[in-house]
Amino acid sequence: MAEVKNVTQLVDDINTRIPDNNAGQISAKDVRETMRNVAFSIPKIVASGEWDVAEQEFVNDVRLRRKSDNSDGGTLIVQSGIVFENNGNPDGTALQTRPYLGPTGIKHGELDDLTGTSNDHHTQYLRVDGFRPLTGDFGTDTNWVSSSGEGNTTAGHGIQFEYVDTNNELLHVGNETQIKFDLDNSIMSTAKSNAAAWVTFDGVSGVGEANTLTVLTSYNVSAVKRVTEGGVPQAGKFRIYFKPNTFGDSLGHSGICAIGKSNGRASNANAEAFDENTVACVVRNTDYVSFNILDESNQYVNGKVNDLIVFGVPSGVTYSDSVTVGYQAS
């Protein structure tokens, strides 16, 4: 009966059963049994790969083919796994026991070496842990940015950048979003509380009455002009003009709060360089406010130090405050 043997056993069997035939001791049975053992042992030897000897492995490609009718066959069936010796782990620590599922069959979460700061393989993406900062400009198009991911259209949260043109871009703040300053915990929910315009000017500098104006600093002010009457420049009477679209037309003069101060004197040599006076900003519209300085003798006078600050509803801003009025008993 044929026996399945390994390579060493087959070699010993051949040497024993088929010695040199000088004595005529080799029978047909010896040859037959040895050949049968070889025939039965070849599949095991090939399948086991137990001949781990240099230059005795497969060195050429191994081709597996289907049957001529393509019904089956040609399949390499591996139950234990595959190890590629050139991967640096020939000891089997990198044993592949699952088939390659193809580029669309592998789940990204099952990949190895995904986490940790040293495994940052996708530098084209922002990391959710913020470990890697931006290395270039970041555009948001018309999308909103917020902690919850819900924009202004759904929750009123976050900020949005709006491209206007090459020279102008707007930052929108959601209607349920406020700006908090950690320095003092102050909160700002609207810009209406900020001054819409202001100016500081010298009303007595220069050598002639017509050009005795010097603007020292300003915001949203386009011009400061001295009033003339009958072609004669007047002392202590000015108009402060705003830049276009500083204020809207919906409220007109009633939406402008103007506060003016002056030292009422031609000098500012020291802290006592001022005279009692009244500054009135009676005329108020979306183009300008008047700035008149009247001393105690009811005369209009120039001032060396003049300040004007103006609050109001800027152009395009919605006015929604509702203030009640009435009587209050003492």
Q: How many CB atoms lie within 10 A of CB 25?
A: 11
pTM, to two decimals: 0.61
Element (H, E) at 10: helix 7-17
pLDDT digits (tens, 9 = 90+) for 54-64: 556 666 677 77
- pLDDT of 156 above 80: yes
C-beta of residue 152 within 8 angstroms of C-beta of residue 160: yes
| CA nearest to 277, candidates 327, 184, 198, 203 | 203
Q: What residue segments make up the domains of the chain, in order of their start?
A: 1-110, 144-188, 197-312
pLDDT band with cut points at 50, 70 and 90 for residue 93 = low
Contacts of 51 (CB under 8 A, 6+ apart): 7, 45, 57
| Tokens linked to 270 | 């020291």
**How many percent of the chain have pLDDT more than 90?**
34
**Of the ranges 39-53, 168-182, 218-232, which one carries the lowest mean pLDDT score?**
39-53
Span 154-168, average pLDDT: 89
pLDDT band with cut points at 50, 70 and 90 for residue 306 = very high
Strand 306-312 versus strand 256-262 pairing type: antiparallel
Residue 297: the pLDDT is 96
pLDDT band with cut points at 50, 70 and 90 for residue 209 = low
C-beta of residue 247 within 8 angstroms of C-beta of residue 312: yes
**How many percent of the chain have pLDDT more than 70?**
84
Residue 206: the pLDDT is 53
Backbone angles phi, psi at 224, to 5 degrees: -125, 120
Give the integer Cα–Cα distance in Å for 325 and 316: 27
Residue 55 falls in which region: left (phi positive, over 0), alpha (psi -120 to 50) or beta: left
- pLDDT of 90 above 60: no
Contacts of 125 (CB under 8 A, 6+ apart): none
Residue 281: the pLDDT is 96
Identify residue 260 by its one-letter amino acid code. G
pLDDT band with cut points at 50, 70 and 90 for residue 260 = very high
Helical H runs in 154-193? none
Give the integer Cα–Cα distance in Å for 196 and 174: 21
Residue 256 DSSP SS3: strand
| Distance from chain centroid for Cα 199 | 39
pLDDT band with cut points at 50, 70 and 90 for residue 101 = confident
C-beta of residue 147 within 8 angstroms of C-beta of residue 155: no
| Tokens linked to 219 | 């915001």
Most confident option among 49-53, 150-154, 299-303, 317-321: 299-303
